[in-house]
Structure 1
């Protein structure tokens, strides 16, 4: 292939490849783009009064990035609207929060078309295009309409919803039909892939062929399961860095011989934060002898604060944390330390390492890499215990974690008690099995597996032309 072109809503290529705050996904994709002299294309995060269609090209630590500015209306309808108020809650089974407004859908279609119109002129005949996530589901269709004949892959970083919920989306069939202009569609887990297949076969009367192939709407697409992971070597280096070690020492001293439980999640209703605090409250009620011996450090950076449902959730969490602390705290002990701020990757590694329990309890999650980071940060001779929601994508692989139903506060309470009292031999056995999973699903392995599969897909001549109306 000539180049790899990565397309995502926001370009996250690091300006400094050694930066401790750079995410593993950004590092892995940046490495591939440097290898293939590729391009990372997406929204700049900036707005302009009138859309110009101009691409700003920059070099970020050896990675060429192409950036496009959007109009304020684009951002409101495409990003804040359809992406985050319609698809995100729907894909996480929160149709009670999903907003189905016609203007949102129109903005979503318009922005994807604009992205395609800006990108298409710079695509070379042998380029391979890899589009990421729910923000850009129709983009392959728009590229095909502009005559792009290249291989185009898509990876969904969220869950795929059940068919019964997806059909509540107006024009759900049109959205799924647009996905058949990709050559390969990737999911984190077999469950998400099977749910997509169920919609195509049961709702759209599609058919299966070969291994993971689907035929529908007069076209064929290949599907596959590609579980994403972390940059293992990079994370271990961050854990052992000066700042990582210093953070560990600081947290170990701050714990003052108490056992620390840690949760790290951005503010989002899919993360099960309220249910987690209620489960921890239940644990304190069930185990009075452990009061003063344990505390929960919950790190929750604020996100999407301009969305009403997130503002409401933030207020509820503030009140809930205050209630628990008010009911159980003593003069020298606070049961919950609730922080609304962001930490660097090396700092988080030190925090994870100091925690006796990692509490990862989303209500629904595509994968959840915090679970894998927590495992990677542990001391092999004295590892902590991972408590993991069975509704996280990671649960499909990480069977040696304590798997829980996050909706049950009693089950969370029991799991916390079991984790804190687990014998060393069992902790080591579970950690070794989990760490092998983390290594086997390294983000570099994920990246290479997807690109290899995309290059192996047999392309269809009919994908070189627009096959039907939207």
Structure 2
């Protein structure tokens, strides 16, 4: 039935897996996740979200969540293994993140990627109203725009890539590189996080497809596809309001007390992913302890590692390495009842996360490669007291906007050590003009501004076609 005028197509539905299995549905909001990003844009609007519910096989009946209509795409165990774990996260993800880990190629994975993308395109074609806006999300579904245009040429189709788009020398390794590019070019507007990703895409379509590219977009086969950089953001006002609550302030004080009332708290919140630089960060902190430049329990590191993708071997191995290294650091530099590193492998709710941000003197966000990193922006927004320090990787998309942060090269362990010390030496009770400037930026460039900018550009791209 065609009844939806705004349709989001994403790999996953934005619902909590555990709750859904019990027939209770709530919005799935994890730090940096797609559901977290789009929640304030879609909540209580007449929108439809198409995606997988998270469990192989038939999907239980779904109800609207926060006013958003949920439409499931069913995947088998084989679909999940070969499309999601295989082509998306073992082939594309490494290449799109500078080949931090080697990409793996299997022909059956590509076949599954095509098959599953067609399933999403078919579902969107079924539910979209005539002339609807269909907004396809991320690297899992790069073939959907062209497939959907074939089925429903009346639709206004946008595609947004949340992860980095790689330089030509990496993307050219893909055996099916032309098909991926053709798939994306089915959209009217292709959005990226940063301008250099747009540049990489233009280089590739001219080289691989012999298309014409200029500042307006791509011309191929009689169509013009607009491209642009649209840095995603957060619901700044919501995080500021949450972090100002009395219960969050009390919880932050309790957290510091539970940590032994250290003089300084360093916090990192990452999905457990080899692109996040967790091992490099732990190495730097270990060396600071060994050098005597920081001492436990006066300074503690709280590392939150949000579990996910643990069925993919590379991610499972990372989890084991991180746990071993945390154990070694605590064995060498902690003492009975006092840890040098507090490692938490769990998902926190929004209130707990805000309290962690308020409790941290230094936020260390040091990915090796990241499309944006919304955790960095959330920390800045949560520091309504004006205090705190952000140590941020140059290779996170957020670094292009949060230029007042302590910027580091995460591969340079000595540089990370020196920068952490510099941030730790700032007075934790003294409001930071650098933080104030970053907060002003994300207030102006929040998630609503991002959505308006993208959707306005999509309307302009479709005008007069």
Please report how far the alpha carbon of residue 106 of structure 1 lies from its aligned counterpart in structure 2 after TM superposition: 0.3
Unaligned runs of 5+ in 1: 462-470
- Residue 413 of structure 1 is matched in structure 2 by 417
* 8 Å contact kept, 1:21–1:346: no
TM-score (normalised: structure 1): 0.90
Please report how far the alpha carbon of residue 440 of structure 1 lies from its aligned counterpart in structure 2 after TM superposition: 2.2
**For 1:21 and 1:171, how far apart are their aligned partners in 2?**
32
Q: In the superposition, relative to structure 1, how do residues 30 and 405 fare at CA in structure 2: closer, same or farther (>3 Å)? A: closer
**For 2:239 and 2:264, how far apart are their aligned partners in 1?**
23
Please report how far the alpha carbon of residue 191 of structure 1 lies from its aligned counterpart in structure 2 after TM superposition: 2.0
- Residue 152 of structure 1 is matched in structure 2 by 157
Q: Does 1:448 align with 2:452?
A: yes
Comparing 29-38 with 107-116, which one deviates more in the overlay? 29-38
Please report how far the alpha carbon of residue 285 of structure 1 lies from its aligned counterpart in structure 2 after TM superposition: 2.8
Please report how far the alpha carbon of residue 78 of structure 1 lies from its aligned counterpart in structure 2 after TM superposition: 1.0
- Residue 82 of structure 1 is matched in structure 2 by 87
**For 2:112 and 2:40, how far apart are their aligned partners in 1?**
33
Q: Which of 89, 106, 130 is the matching residue for 2:111?
A: 106
Q: Which of 111, 116, 125 is the matching residue for 2:130?
A: 125
* Total equivalences in the alignment: 454
**For 1:266 and 1:385, how far apart are their aligned partners in 2?**
21
Q: Does 1:63 align with 2:68?
A: yes
Q: Does 1:42 align with 2:44?
A: no
- Residue 319 of structure 1 is matched in structure 2 by 324
* 8 Å contact kept, 2:9–2:124: no
**For 1:97 and 1:389, how far apart are their aligned partners in 2?**
22
* 8 Å contact kept, 1:20–1:238: no
Task: After superposition, give the CA deviation of every residue in 1:165-189 in whole Å (9 maximum; x if it has no partner).
Answer: 0011111111112211100011111
Q: Does 1:268 align with 2:273?
A: yes
Please report how far the alpha carbon of residue 311 of structure 1 lies from its aligned counterpart in structure 2 after TM superposition: 1.4
Q: Does 1:252 align with 2:256?
A: yes
- Residue 12 of structure 2 is matched in structure 1 by 10
Task: After superposition, give the CA deviation of every residue in 1:213-243 in whole Å (9 maximum; x if it has no partner).
Answer: 1123553210111111111111122223354
**For 2:62 and 2:450, how far apart are their aligned partners in 1?**
27
* 8 Å contact kept, 1:183–1:459: no
* 8 Å contact kept, 1:133–1:158: yes
Q: What SS does the aligned partner of 2:271 have?
A: coil
Q: In the superposition, relative to structure 1, how do residues 208 and 290 fare at CA in structure 2: closer, same or farther (>3 Å)? A: same
Q: What SS does the aligned partner of 1:363 have?
A: coil
- Residue 164 of structure 1 is matched in structure 2 by 169
**For 2:72 and 2:32, how far apart are their aligned partners in 1?**
19
Q: Output the aligned Cα RMSD.
A: 2.6
**For 2:294 and 2:282, how far apart are their aligned partners in 1?**
19
* 8 Å contact kept, 2:82–2:112: yes
Task: After superposition, give the CA deviation of every residue in 1:147-174 in whole Å (9 maximum; x if it has no partner).
Answer: 3321100010100011000011111111
Please report how far the alpha carbon of residue 377 of structure 1 lies from its aligned counterpart in structure 2 after TM superposition: 1.5
- Residue 19 of structure 2 is matched in structure 1 by none
- Residue 408 of structure 2 is matched in structure 1 by 404
Q: What SS does the aligned partner of 1:228 have?
A: coil
Q: Which of 233, 236, 244 is the matching residue for 2:237?
A: 233
**For 1:22 and 1:337, how far apart are their aligned partners in 2?**
19
Q: Does 1:435 align with 2:436?
A: no
Q: Which of 159, 162, 174 is the matching residue for 2:179?
A: 174
Q: Which 4+ runs in 1 deviate beyond 6 A?
A: 19-24
* 8 Å contact kept, 2:37–2:234: no
* 8 Å contact kept, 2:7–2:124: no
Q: In the superposition, relative to structure 1, how do residues 111 and 263 fare at CA in structure 2: closer, same or farther (>3 Å)? A: same
Q: Does 1:97 align with 2:106?
A: no
Q: Does 1:329 align with 2:334?
A: yes
